[in-house]
Amino acid sequence: MGVRRWDSWTGRHQTDTAARHETGRGFFVSTEDDHVQRIAIPNKGRLSQAALDLFERAGLKAEFRADRALVARLGDAFQAIFVRAQDIPEFVADGAAEFGITGADLIEESNRPEVTELLDLGFGKCRLIVAVRDDSPVDTPEALPEGTRVATSFPGLARRYFESLGVPIRIVPVSGAAEIAPHIGVADVIVDLSSTGSTLRVNGLREVGTILHSSARLIGNADADGSELTPSLESVLRAEKKRYLMTNVPRDRLEEVREVLPGISGPTIVDILDQGRWVAAHAVVDEDKVHRTIARLKALGAEGILVTRIERLLP
């Protein structure tokens, strides 16, 4: 019987001991029998670091074999491959990776039915918008004249959008820096991503319509077994918006404390070894309600208030 090993290059467990000698490449020894699933992660750009941070918080820290390696191990069950965000929907649809993380805009643009969205990861928020030159008389996309030239790296989404409005347009494909196109006469409008709108303003453009709201998504194909990964990432995302609050409160104010600290199913009340005048109350609180909750607890005579982050929260 050969040694079962996890090969970081093939991304699969192998039992053939001869193979490691043949390749002479590094490998991870693993006693796990699980099939290793691949996750395609953006190799650079806005989503890359946020995706790696999320995996780390979920206990899946990327282990690279070398600097600038294009594969990494993510725990025992997953292997990360680092590719361009634009290519990820195609790679997942074609089965090169079972899972992927990329923008909803790119998923929609790829229009591949083999890809299923498993989870909205909440970061990388932006919108795909239609913008005209500041000096244009147009205020809505519907008002654009027939034959309007649209510079975009999202030809599929732009075409479908203008078709749905009944406005015949011509696509001018660009792979970046669409903002310049209306100023150099190669297009009349642009369809591009925007988050704060500052790039548009700096480039003398004005937004006239939104095609799509986007954020980073976890996607999978038919072979993706999301039973472990999806709840794991979800528990981290859910926990981010919550805090765990602990406080000492006078026992005779408990009814009011229950109203201030509803928690998931009411606060946890713990005895304090003090003749029974005080108790400790613990509860999960929405991050954006922490300030108000503290003020209300103080008004009830609470002392020793402690607020901590939560790593994961499972309902």
* Footprint of ligand AMP (CB under 6 A): 42, 45-47, 85, 103, 105-106, 124, 126, 193-195, 214
Name the minimum Å distance from CB 199 to ligand AMP: 7
- Of residues 35 and 125, the one with the C-beta less far from ligand AMP: 125
What is the C-alpha separation between 40 and 58, in angstroms, rounded? 17
Instruction: Residue 276: count other Cβ atoms within 10 Å of its Cβ.
Output: 9
Instruction: Give the span between the Cα atoms of 66 and 123, in whole angstroms.
Output: 28
| Residue 215: CB minimum distance to ligand AMP, A | 7
* Alpha carbon separation from 36 to 99, 178, 194, 225 (Å, rounded): 11, 40, 36, 10
Shortest reach from residue 50's CB to ligand AMP, in Å: 9
Residue 93 or 257 having the CB closest to ligand AMP = 93
Q: Closer to ligand AMP at the Cβ: 177 or 295?
A: 177
Closest C-alpha among 283, 278, 282, 270 to residue 251: 278
d(CA 20, CA 25): 7
Instruction: Write out the H or E segment, with its range, that includes residue 109.
Output: helix 104-110
- Coil, helix or strand at residue 239: helix
Residue 103 or 220: which CB sits closer to ligand AMP? 103
Residue 124 or 267: the one with the smaller Cβ distance to ligand AMP is 124
Q: How far is the CB of 280 from ligand AMP (least distance, A)?
A: 43
Task: State the nearest-atom distance from the C-beta of 133 to ligand AMP, in Å.
Answer: 20
